[in-house]
Amino acid sequence: MFMLSIVDAKPPAPAQLRSLSSSDLGVITWRVANFKERIREYVGIDSYTTSDPLEPNDDYDYSVVLDRKNLARVISLIAAKKDALPLPWSDIMADTLVHLQISKENASVVKYELMPKDNNNFYPYRYSTNIAGYIMFGSQICGIRREMG
């Protein structure tokens, strides 16, 4: 079985995100459902979205969850509070997903390409009652930006 090295993984470029097909979106939706089941074993996810965390002076570590078979398929975008307990990513990822730390700039590009609306795209996630961070799922895609040319 082919195993992608985490060293080889990079966040998808805008052009890759724009080239996602309807089949890719179907796979993303299926992978998101499985990912949600696994991550909910460790945290609670609120039912309602809140303001996007991508603010100029925020204090978050950003990461992305990608489909191991096609790294352009974004399963989730995560903003974790820097003082929050880390999640057991290797257990959550299983053998189908890749968790990758990314810069706030890369997180902003991914978010903007997949979710062009300006706000309320992220769900708070919690340990007990304390918010540990914010999470957006690939199945929420409201429109992929397409360049007119």
Backbone angles phi, psi at 5, to 5 degrees: -75, 140
Q: What is the pLDDT along the chain (149 residues), one digit of tens a residue?
A: 344 445 467 888 888 888 888 899 889 999 999 999 999 999 999 999 988 899 888 989 999 999 999 999 999 999 999 988 889 999 999 889 999 999 999 999 988 888 877 778 899 999 888 999 999 998 876 555 444 34
Instruction: Spell out the residues 6+ positions from residue 38 whose beta carbon is closer than 8 angstroms to its own.
Output: 91, 92, 94
- The b/e string for 115-140 (b: 16+ C-beta within 10 A; e otherwise) is beeeeebbbbbeeeeeebbbbbbbbb
Length in residues, the chain: 149
Q: For residue 61, what are its two tokens?
A: 């570590």
Cα–Cα distance measured from residue 114 to residue 12, given in angstroms and rounded to the nearest whole number = 11
SS (H, E, C) 99-133: EEEECHHHHHHHHHHHCCCCCCCEEEEEECCEEEE
What global pTM score does this model have? 0.86
